[in-house]
Amino acid sequence: MKKWNFFSGPAILPATVLQQAATAVIDFNGMGLSLLEISHRSKAFETVMNEARQLVRQLLQLTDDYEVLFLTGGASTQFALIPYNLLPHNATAAYLETGQWASNAIKEAALFGKVQVVASSADTLYNHIPKNYNVPADAAYFHITTNNTVFGTQMHDIPTISCPIVADMSSDIFSRPLTNLSSYGVIYAGAQKNMGAAGTTLVVVRKDLLNKTGRQIPSMFNYQTHIEHHSMFNTPPVFAVYVAYLTLQWIAEQGLENLAQKNTQKSQLLYHEIDRNTLFKGSVAIEDRSQMNVTFVCTRPELESEFLTFAEQNGCVGLKGYRKVGGYRASIYNAMELEGVQTLVQLMQEFEQRWA
């Protein structure tokens, strides 16, 4: 039976990427050596790193003002590195608190400077994206989370403000074309959703924002170090960068416009069923629903785990909601085929016929 993988991250990857990655573990580029055992300074790997960075430039249509870095430590490390690099001790950074990861980012920033939370949906368990708020014009930056993996909300509009936006795009990068590049100071994303395997983190940074804190920063935590060494200051996470490179190639072949259209189609199909089916209902405000992580609950709580078992027995895995939230979460990233969503919808209909 075909398995459909709805895990939220690490998450589904294109089958061709997995095949190429497995081959490289045994024999990379016909070199007769594994990708895991060659020097990261070999020409073969330097090409991978450079082309991966170039693909990001191309997909996001970056200007020369921006640098592309592949780092480690996940988005959680960036929660600290962003204020470390961008927030002077006496300055203020503005944050929009739309979920658990935004909340974690706020906590880390407070160690480096002043933090102003301009709006929060914490008191309604992050079931919507706050809309009416003011960002102080003199903020060092305004931090947003474009898609909230845990709760299933997504920002469909990016505000127009006068300070640079720092965006955690971990769970929706490359799911749609990027617009208004110049609004952004930093874009970052852990690879393990739309961009590859766990182990590397993409950071796109506008160079003119750096070196202004007056702070001495350890080499590995300083974006400038990695810019100067083209993400090769020390041994990079070779395999994770390679999988990101393969996934970026796949994304470029598909095209961001096409992927965006497909993502809209998949999420509309699933939300339509959630709204129609008497046994399910959506978890968040309709206008803020995520195209990547579809969260919903069972209207008859006694059947909650029953549906998970039923779905799993029929090939749909990874549907359990985040441990602190419960319910269901269907993550339908770029690599999820329409057929996977159709399968899930059909199982929801069969489940309704059986229990309603």
**Shortest Å, Cβ 315 to its own copies:** 9
Is 101 one of the annotated active-site residues of the chain? yes
Does residue 168 have an active-site annotation? Answer: yes
- By C-beta, is 89 or 156 nearer to its own copies? 89
Q: Is 18 in the site for its own copies (CB under 8 A)?
A: yes
Catalytic residue among 193, 262, 266, 320: 193
Q: Identify whether the C-beta of residue 103 lies closer than 8 Å to the C-beta of residue 76.
A: no
Only one of the segments 15-23, 87-95, 177-185, 338-346 lies at the binding site for its own copies (rule: CB under 8 A); that segment is 15-23
Binders in 234-293 for its own copies, by CB under 8 A: 234-240, 243
How near is the Cβ of 40 to its own copies at its closest, in Å? 6
25 binds its own copies (CB under 8 A): yes
- CA-angle at 221, arms to 141 and 199, nearest 5°: 100
Count of beta carbons in the 10 Å neighbourhood of residue 171: 28
- Using the rule CB under 8 A, is 318 a contact of its own copies? yes
Evaluate the CA torsion angle 125, 127, 128, 129 in order and state its sign. positive
DSSP per-residue letters across 265-310: HHHHHHHHHHHH-TTEEESS-GGGB-SSEEEEEESSGGGHHHHHHH
Identity at 13, one-letter amino acid code:
L
Q: Residues 4, 101, 262, 320: which is the catalytic one?
A: 101
Give dist(CA 356, CA 353) in Å, integer: 6
Which listed residue (133, 221, 310, 355) binds its own copies by CB under 8 A?
221
Report d(CA 232, CA 40) in Å as an integer.
8
Maximum distance among all alpha carbons in the chain?
65
Active-site residue, 123 included? no
Q: Which is nearer to its own copies, 181 or 217 (CB)?
A: 217
Residues within the interface to its own copies (CB under 8 A): 3, 5, 7-13, 18-19, 21-23, 25-26, 32-34, 36-41, 72-77, 79-80, 84, 104, 107-108, 111, 190, 192, 196-199, 216, 218-221, 233-240, 243, 317-318, 323
